[in-house]
Amino acid sequence: MIKKIFKYFLYFLLLISIGILYLSYFGIETKRFNQFIKKEVLKVNAQTSIEIKDVKILLNISNFSIDLKTYEPNLVFKNKKIKLKNIKTNFSLGSFLKKEFAIKNVVISTKENNLKEVISFIRVYQNSPELFIFNKMIKNGTLVTDINLNFNDKGKINRDYSIKGSVKKANLRLLNKQVIKNINLSFDIKDNEYLINDSKFEFNQIKLLSNKIKITNLNKYFLIKGDLKNPESLFNSELLSVFFKNNFEKLGFKNLNFSSDSSFSFRLNNKFKLSDINIKSKINLKELEYKLHNLKLKSYIPNYKGLLKLNDHKIILAFNKDQISFTGSGKLFIDKISDKIDYDIFFKDGDYIFNTKIEINNNPLLIKFLNYNKEKNKKSSLEAKGLFKKNKSLIIDRILFEESENKILLEGVSLNENLKINYLNNLELDVLNEKEKYNKISLKKNKKNYEFKGKIFDASNLIERILESNNNDGVSSIFNDFNSNISVKIDKTYIDKVSYINNLTGSINFTKNKINKLNLESNFSNNKKLTLTINTNKDNERITTLFSSYPKPLVKRYKFIKGFEEGVLDFQSIKKNNTSKSLLIIDNFKVKEVPVLAKLLSLASLQGIADLLTGEGIRFTDFEMTFSNKDKLMTIDEIYAIGPAISIMMSGYIESEKLVSLRGTLVPARTINRTIASIPLIGGILIGKKAGEGVFGVSFKIKGPPKNLKTTVNPIKTLTPRFITRTLEKIKKK
């Protein structure tokens, strides 16, 4: 009997074992658990329910639980459905027997669902401000996901959950109303950590790629790290406004075309505001245009028209807390002519710190105040290091320009927005200018004052401006509110292409950017002196004097006078409120050829005097010219010259490069002498004692553009009283 009972017991154990093995391996399908599962789902959240077909049951002996699996169920909430592939859950028999929450684990695999509806479903279980805002931002797209949830005894989801899946064709509307389109990605979500892999999306028609983006929830904000790539494309500047406070185009940039490989990190708070942005990028810049109208570079670069263009640049970019730096090199185009540029630029709060080198080989370069002109297709380089401030001022630590044997070095320079110098610490020049004259000089700051010294200096332009009494375009115009004293010591100073002076010494005092006082002296190679002084009196009148016992180098610059010899030059000028009144006196000189004067003599049929112009020259004992200058208008009150052969008086005006208008009287010296001798008998002066003996000369007019002057002459029988008076004055001074 005992044997039979034992035998049946073994059979029972065998059947149970087989049943357990069958349930563990194959399981069974039933609908008996459907209502139980629905009740358990409702316990988690009363707003959701589930539609279930058959449930497959598998026994899990290891943890005394049952694995339940159902295919193609639907999660239902708010009259919406989330379509699923299957649901797997682990049902604890121990918890069930203890009447505790029995579901320990749920694994959900979904079909393709509307992304917006999935987010709405998640909000049923975990409604946060972030999910609310994110739900508003999502416009469309689909989601496929696998969800693994573990529950505690009270039915709450443990923090060891994981959600994996993919998003396709989603659109995300940002808070600034811009849209990220065609988002495709895969993701892996764990507690407080979100991984986004293999993402692709479009922003303002720009295709962007990312291998990995990691988002960490740090309660007060999200920390986002990742990489980003974009193929070569025309970049809309609005994209950069995501990272910059202002639109990038407002900084002057446009037509941005590049490809990049970047890594980035930033914080995103609960209100979706960005902070602590860090970006590192390798950029292949195909094209970038930069408008820079505020700097008047055209005076230095004739080709410049307010637009710089970069092509084919390799750039390393770093962005950190509103600070951005660029290190790169490539082609720089100015008016379709390219050169090469290397640069290191740091941008912060509107200021640019720069360190750059430009190979200016193909573009021309002009430095007017030095008479220097670098022609096209001539190799040169420009190195510059400094700071361009948001108030449009420029601080230069160092500029070095080199071309062949030419060298310009500037150190410690501050310029305002009009490129005028606020201060300068050091300037060194070793330059051969367009007049083929070297400038080997230096200007160095010594406390508040400067020392201007050197071996060779070409001052021809400076002398010309002083003679014209017009310093508006002089050396001082490159400074802004300059107040200093400059001591001068130059071994050799050229005043024209051939002539030079030795041992130029003295000082120049500037007040409010104008010469207040100047005192310079030197010697010509023939030991004759040249002195120049400028003084400002109490009435704010600037008085300029120039004396030369060898005026030939100063006079011969005027093209209408040829063969000037001998003489002494004395020039005086008084200037106030941009208007100058001047007197130029030259004594005891002769000229070999005066083209306009020769034409007058020829028309007057004074053949004997005209012949002198091709001989030894016409000698003058006195020459005086009184005139005034205002802007580009020279008004000649009087030019009077007297000599053994002829005398001349004229007046008029000259509008620079536009119009010349002169009129006057020319008389042979013999006629003048006879007239002066007859002064006591006034009637004899006007009529003559004998027939044909009256005063004879020429009145003339010269008028027209400088390159197309027209001359008219008329014989005269009577001299004007003014001519006679001026002649008497000169004779009395002898």
Taking only the tens place, the pLDDT of each residue in 438-466 is: 889 999 998 889 999 999 988 877 666 55
Sign for the CA dihedral angle at 265, 270, 275, 281 comes to positive
Count of structural domains within the chain: 4
Owning domain of residue 723: 617-733
Is 446 found in the same domain as 549? yes
Structural domain contains residue 288: no
459 token code pair: 């001052």
Structural domain contains residue 4: no
Q: Label the pairing between strands 449-458 and 484-494.
A: parallel
Flag whether pLDDT at 5 surpasses 70: no
The Cα–Cα gap between 504 and 457 comes to: 10
Q: What was the pLDDT predicted at 731?
A: 53
Is 475 found in the same domain as 562? yes
pLDDT in tens, 99-130: 666 677 788 888 898 888 888 877 777 666 66
Q: Rounded to a whole number, what is the largest CA-CA distance in the chain?
A: 190
Higher local confidence (pLDDT), 6 or 215: 215
Q: What was the pLDDT predicted at 311?
A: 92
Is 439 found in the same domain as 586? yes
Contact between 547 and 521 under an 8 Å Cβ cutoff? The reply is no
Flag whether pLDDT at 654 surpasses 80: yes
| 603 φ/ψ angles, rounded to the nearest 5 degrees | -65, -30
Q: What was the pLDDT predicted at 604?
A: 41
pLDDT in tens, 482-500: 888 999 999 998 887 778 8
Q: Label the pairing between strands 659-668 and 697-704.
A: antiparallel
Flag whether pLDDT at 504 surpasses 90: yes
Is 623 found in the same domain as 566? no
When pLDDT is cut at 50, 70 and 90, the band that residue 705 belongs to is: confident
Flag whether pLDDT at 695 surpasses 80: no
Is 580 found in the same domain as 475? yes
The last residue of a domain, from among 421, 455, 478: 421
When pLDDT is cut at 50, 70 and 90, the band that residue 380 belongs to is: very high
First to last CA, the chain: 173
Structural domain contains residue 165: yes
Average pLDDT estimate for 161-181: 84
Buried b (16+ CB within 10 A) or exposed e, 356-379: bbbebbbbbbbbeebbbebeeeee
Higher local confidence (pLDDT), 425 or 177: 425
Burial (CB < 10 A; 0-12, 13-18, 19+), residue 336, is exposed
Structural domain contains residue 268: no
Average pLDDT estimate for 410-431: 87
Structural domain contains residue 187: no
Is 165 found in the same domain as 45? yes
pLDDT in tens, 250-284: 556 777 788 889 998 988 887 777 888 888 989 89
Flag whether pLDDT at 697 surpasses 90: no
Is 570 found in the same domain as 442? yes
The Cα–Cα gap between 243 and 322 comes to: 8
Structural domain contains residue 217: no
β-partners of residue 535 are: 517, 543
Averaged pLDDT of the chain: 77
pLDDT in tens, 531-557: 989 998 888 888 888 888 888 777 765
Is 492 found in the same domain as 395? no
Q: Over pLDDT 90: what percentage of the chain? A: 15
Average pLDDT estimate for 294-317: 81
Higher local confidence (pLDDT), 409 or 465: 409
Flag whether pLDDT at 212 surpasses 90: yes
Is 560 found in the same domain as 698? no
Higher local confidence (pLDDT), 377 or 340: 340
**Lookup result for tokens 């990995």:** 212
The last residue of a domain, from among 421, 446, 464: 421
Is 626 found in the same domain as 577? no
The last residue of a domain, from among 132, 149, 169: 169
Is 507 found in the same domain as 376? no
Is 470 found in the same domain as 542? yes
Q: What was the pLDDT predicted at 506?
A: 93
Average pLDDT estimate for 222-241: 74
Structural domain contains residue 338: yes
The letter for the amino acid at 600 is L
Q: Which of 45-49, 62-66, 78-82, 179-183 has the lowest mean pLDDT?
A: 62-66
Structural domain contains residue 283: no
Spacing of C-alpha 315 from chain mean position: 18
Residues in the chain: 734
Q: What was the pLDDT predicted at 356?
A: 93
When pLDDT is cut at 50, 70 and 90, the band that residue 674 belongs to is: very low
